[in-house]
């Protein structure tokens, strides 16, 4: 298994012989206006796509956690093969059907495709009224024989359900969306640094990959913030020794 961090929540995972694209966003730098009612007015995405489009289009499957523009954008909708297997939450089937995708596979609880079991788990995209306004979002567990079990948290704040998911499915690798995105006068809608720390403490022996950083204007915590806070000394205090904050287009190879 290897993990290519593309940008933001977009990643390319080679798993059980299958190339899986997570939350595709292909737009060019500053193609979209700032997300409204957020702490700064920078256009999105903040950075260029550094992984070649040819690499991102040469995949077997797409997995979508939800359809916000920073997780599935217009350019991905335009360029992806409409016959590709598209795994999604049931609430998004009508949207993807309207986009013209022909092989939409909703996950109510779990499915098995290409010898990979994909289980949908809870994600809490904010709290209170803001969380309600964000709409449904999902995380996923991927498991297959002779591969580590993966847990993509999706867009979620820390919640008791994360502990429950870890204890139920025993993932070996967590891919965690962070960045503390927020609106003016709202709390964060995806994990902040303290949420990440609480997750690490559930089982420090796991491997942690932190993504969803430095790409969209509503995210106020950066890779630099993450690495400064989680110094080697702090990670050692928690008991974590496998902690990654990959750069865009950085490959993590777990076959070694």
Q: What is the pLDDT of residues 172-231, one digit of tens each?
A: 999 999 999 999 989 999 999 999 999 999 999 999 999 999 999 999 999 999 999 999
pLDDT(135) > 90: yes
How far apart (Å, rounded) are the C-alpha atoms in residues 80 and 102?
11
pLDDT of residue 231: 98
pLDDT of residue 161: 97
Prior bond to 58 cis, omega within 30?
Answer: no
pLDDT of residue 39: 86
How far apart (Å, rounded) are the C-alpha atoms in residues 50 and 116?
28
pLDDT(36) > 80: yes
Confidence of residue 256 (pLDDT cuts 50, 70, 90): low
How far apart (Å, rounded) are the C-alpha atoms in residues 82 and 111?
20
pLDDT of residue 44: 98
Tokens 């997750």 belong to 199
Query: What strands, in cross-sheet order, belong to the sheet with 138-143?
Result: 110-113, 116-122, 138-143, 150-152, 173-177, 207-211, 243-244
SS3 at position 119:
strand
How far apart (Å, rounded) are the C-alpha atoms in residues 99 and 67?
11
Q: State the chain's mean pLDDT as an integer.
A: 97
pLDDT of residue 89: 98
């Amino acid at each position: 298994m290897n993990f290519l961090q593309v940008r933001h929540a977009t990643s390319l995972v080679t798993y059980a012989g299958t190339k899986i694209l997570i939350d595709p966003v292909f737009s060019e730098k500053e193609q979209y206006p700032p997300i409204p009612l957020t702490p700064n007015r920078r256009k999105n995405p903040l950075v260029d796509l550094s992984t070649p489009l040819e690499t991102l289009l040469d995949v077997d499957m797409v997995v979508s956690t939800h359809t916000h523009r920073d997780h599935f954008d217009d350019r991905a909708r335009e360029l992806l093969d409409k016959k590709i297997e598209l795994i999604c939450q049931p609430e998004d089937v009508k949207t993807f059907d309207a986009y013209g995708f022909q092989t939409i596979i909703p996950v109510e609880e779990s499915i098995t495709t290409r010898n990979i079991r994909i289980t949908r788990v809870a994600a809490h995209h904010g709290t209170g009224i803001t969380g309600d306004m964000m709409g449904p979002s999902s995380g996923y567990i991927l498991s297959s024989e002779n591969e580590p079990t993966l847990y993509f948290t999706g867009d979620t704040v820390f919640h008791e359900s994360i502990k429950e998911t870890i204890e139920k499915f025993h993932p070996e690798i967590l891919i965690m969306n962070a960045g503390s995105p927020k609106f003016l006068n709202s709390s964060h809608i995806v994990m902040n640094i303290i949420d990440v720390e609480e997750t690490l403490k559930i089982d420090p022996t796991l491997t942690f990959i932190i993504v969803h950083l430095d790409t969209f204007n509503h995210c106020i915590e950066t890779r630099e913030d993450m690495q400064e806070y989680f110094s080697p000394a702090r990670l050692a205090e928690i008991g974590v020794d496998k902690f990654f904050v990959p750069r865009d287009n950085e490959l993590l190879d777990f076959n070694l």
